[in-house]
Amino acid sequence: MLENYESLAASCPIVEDLRWETELVWINPEKKPWAEGAKEINLTLADIDDAEVRLARFAPFLMAAFPETLPAGGVIESALTPVPTLGKRLGEKYGSRLEGRLLLKQDSHLAIAGSVKARGGIYEVLKHTEDLALEHGLLSGVEDDYTKLATPEARAFFSQYTVQVGSTGNLGLSIGIMSAAVGFQVIVHMSADAKQWKKDLLRQHGVTVMEYSSDYSEAVKQGRASSDANPKSYFVDDENSKNLFLGYAVAAKRLVGQLKNLDVTVDEAHPLFVYIPCGVGGAPGGIAFGLKQMFGDSVHVFFVEPTQAPCMLLGMATGLQNGIAVQNIGLTGLTHADGLAVGRPSGFVGKVMGPILSGEFTLRDEKLYDYMRDLLETEDIFIEPSACAAIQGPVMLNRFPESRAYLERNGLVERLPQATHILWATGGSLVPENIREEYVNTHL
Ligand SMILES: *Cc1c(COP(=O)(O)O)cnc(C)c1O
C-alpha cells in the first residue's frame, strides 16, 4: 500500500471503490471535443496512414511467409459481424436494455497470432525488419520487391539480430511468431500469468521463452535489461512504443469500410460505442486513437479492466499515470484475464487517452466465464476470457447511474435506437481445444 493512501483516496474517491473490487464505471472528466483533443496529441492521421502503407508493402512478404494470409491478399484483418442473439441474451439475462445494433469485431480470429496483438506486434516487427533491410541494402527502397525478405539469404542476415519482448502471453505470441518467420533470434520474457500452452507454442516456433515468477512489469524490466546488453538486440517496448500503437490504430481505418458494408451509418445522429479490454493500454489506446481520427465526436470509446487489475483507470483517474500501480492500493493484480493482468499502465497511452476516452468499466473475474458461455451458446463463437471483458460495456452502459448520466449529458439517450455497439473481441482462436473445454467448464 502507498504510505499516502488516505490522502490519495480523499482527493480521488474512486480509488476506495477500486480497492474493494467494486464493479463500476468511471467517466473520464478530461475528455474533450475531438477538435480540441486532437491538438493535444502529437500523433496524427498521417502517422496512421504511414503504418497502413507500410503494412501494404509487406503484403507480398506475408503471403510468402504465411500462406494462410493468401485469401486476403496478405492483409491481416478480422471480420465485423452482427451478434443479435447475444444482444437478446444480454437483455434477458442481465437487463442490459441495450438499443441499436450489437457487433463483434473478431480480432480473436486474426491470422498468425489469433489476437489483437497481430496488429501492433506484427507491425512493429515488420517496421524493424524494413529499417534493417533498407539500412543494409537488402531492399533498394520501399518500391523494391518485399518477397526478397522471405529468401534463405535474407533469413541468414536477420539471424544475426535478436528481438526481445516482455509479455503476459499474447504479445509474446505475436512478436515471437513473426520474428521467427523473418529469421530473427527471439527471446520472449513471460510473466507468471502467461499460460503454459502459449509458452509451448512459442517454443515450437523456435522462440526462447524466459519464465519469471513475477508480474508483467518485472518481465518487461528483465527483457529490457537483457536486450540493452546486446547491441544487436531490439526491444519491443509495450509500455512506450509508438510503433505498436500505430499498428493498432490502422484497425480503425479498415473499420470504416466494414461498417459501410453492413450499412451502418456513424454520425451525430447515429453514435458508435466501442468497448475494448485493456491491459497496459497499447492495443485499446491505439484503436481508440484511430477511431477518433475516423469518427470524431460520433464515437464513444470505453475500456474494460478486471477489478483486480484496473491499472489504466487508476492511472488516469488519479492523474498519476504510470506513477501508480494497482498493488499500491492493495489489489493483487492477479486475474483470470491473463491478457489484462497488468498492474501498471503505459504512461504514454494514459496521456494520449486523456482527451479521447469516454470512460472505463471494471468487471469481476467470474463474469468473464459467464459472458464466454453467453457468446458461445448464442452465436457459437469462442473468445478467450480476457476478450470477454468487452461484454461488460453494453451490459452495464444503461445500468450504472454514471454512464446513464453520460448518455443524458451528451444528448445520446434519444439516439440510442440508431446507435451501434462494437464489442472488440481481442483474442481466442489459438486457444487449444482442451483449454477451451476447461474454460467453458470454469465457474468461479
Ligand atoms: C493484450 C491484450 C489486451 C489488451 O492490450 P493492451 O495493449 O495490453 O492494453 C486485451 N485482450 C487480449 C486478449 C490481449 O491479449
Mutate to test the pocket of ligand 1, among 117, 241, 360, 391 (most ligand atoms within 8 A of CB): 117
Q: Is 282 in the pocket of ligand 1 (CB under 6 A)?
A: yes
Residue 276 Cα: closest atom of ligand 1: 10
> Cα(48) to centroid of ligand 1, in Å?
20
| b/e per residue 84-121 (b: at least 16 CB within 10 A) | eebbebbbeebebebbbbbbbbbbbbbbbbbbbbbbbb
The answer for residues whose C-beta is within 8 angstroms of residue 121's C-beta and 6 or more apart is 113, 165, 171, 174, 175, 178, 236, 244, 247
Residue 120 Cα: closest atom of ligand 1: 7
Q: Judging by beta carbons within 10 Å of its beta carbon (0-12, 13-18, 19+), is residue 312 exposed, middle or buried? A: buried
The pLDDT of 235-258, averaged and rounded, is 96
Q: What would the grid cell of residue 198 be?
A: 502459449
If you take atom 2 of ligand 1, which residue's CA is the nearest one? 339
In sequence order, the β-bridge partners of residue 190 are: 167, 211
Q: Is 195 in the pocket of ligand 1 (CB under 6 A)?
A: no
Predicted confidence (pLDDT) per residue in 376-389, tens digit: 999 999 999 999 99
Q: What would the grid cell of residue 281 be?
A: 493500454
Q: Is 244 in the pocket of ligand 1 (CB under 6 A)?
A: no
Predicted confidence (pLDDT) per residue in 26-39, tens digit: 999 999 999 999 99
Predicted confidence (pLDDT) per residue in 149-164, tens digit: 999 999 999 999 999 9
Answer yes or no: are the C-beta atoms of 383 and 428 closer than 8 Å. yes
Q: What is the pLDDT of residue 289?
A: 98
Q: What is the pLDDT of residue 365?
A: 98
> Cα(374) to centroid of ligand 1, in Å?
21
Helices (H), 68-215: 84-94, 117-135, 152-158, 170-182, 196-204
pLDDT of 373 higher than 90: yes
How far, CA to CA in Å, does 378 sit from each of 26, 36, 82, 86, 275?
29, 41, 12, 5, 19
Strands 80-82 and 101-106: antiparallel
Mutate to test the pocket of ligand 1, among 386, 431, 439 (most ligand atoms within 8 A of CB): 386
Amino acid present at 372: M
Answer yes or no: are the C-beta atoms of 186 and 208 closer than 8 Å. yes
The pLDDT of 288-311, averaged and rounded, is 98
pLDDT of 444 higher than 90: yes
Predicted confidence (pLDDT) per residue in 3-34, tens digit: 999 999 999 999 999 999 999 999 999 999 99
pLDDT of 223 higher than 90: yes
Percent of the chain with pLDDT over 70: 100
How far, CA to CA in Å, does 438 sit from each of 335, 384, 432?
16, 11, 10
pLDDT of 194 higher than 90: no
Q: Is 343 in the pocket of ligand 1 (CB under 6 A)?
A: no
Q: Judging by beta carbons within 10 Å of its beta carbon (0-12, 13-18, 19+), is residue 68 exposed, middle or buried? A: exposed
The pLDDT of 355-368, averaged and rounded, is 98
The pLDDT of 213-228, averaged and rounded, is 91
Residue 108 Cα: closest atom of ligand 1: 13
Q: Judging by beta carbons within 10 Å of its beta carbon (0-12, 13-18, 19+), is residue 250 exposed, middle or buried? A: buried
Q: Is 283 in the pocket of ligand 1 (CB under 6 A)?
A: yes
Q: Is 284 in the pocket of ligand 1 (CB under 6 A)?
A: yes
pLDDT of 217 higher than 90: no
| b/e per residue 179-189 (b: at least 16 CB within 10 A) | bbbbbbbbbbb
Q: Is 236 in the pocket of ligand 1 (CB under 6 A)?
A: no
Half-sphere exposure of 292 (CA within 13 A, CB side): 27
If you take atom 11 of ligand 1, which residue's CA is the nearest one? 426
pLDDT of 424 higher than 90: yes
Mutate to test the pocket of ligand 1, among 107, 109, 170 (most ligand atoms within 8 A of CB): 170
Half-sphere exposure of 18 (CA within 13 A, CB side): 35
> Cα(386) to centroid of ligand 1, in Å?
8
In sequence order, the β-bridge partners of residue 80 are: 105
In sequence order, the β-bridge partners of residue 300 are: 273
The pLDDT of 352-367, averaged and rounded, is 98
Q: What is the pLDDT of residue 216?
A: 86
Q: What is the pLDDT of residue 202?
A: 94
Percent of the chain with pLDDT over 90: 96
- Compute the mean pLDDT over every residue in the chain, rounded to the nearest whole number: 97
Counts for the chain of helices (H) and strands (E), in that order: 20, 11
Q: What is the pLDDT of residue 175?
A: 96
Predicted confidence (pLDDT) per residue in 400-415, tens digit: 999 999 999 999 999 9
Q: Is 277 in the pocket of ligand 1 (CB under 6 A)?
A: yes
> Cα(278) to centroid of ligand 1, in Å?
6
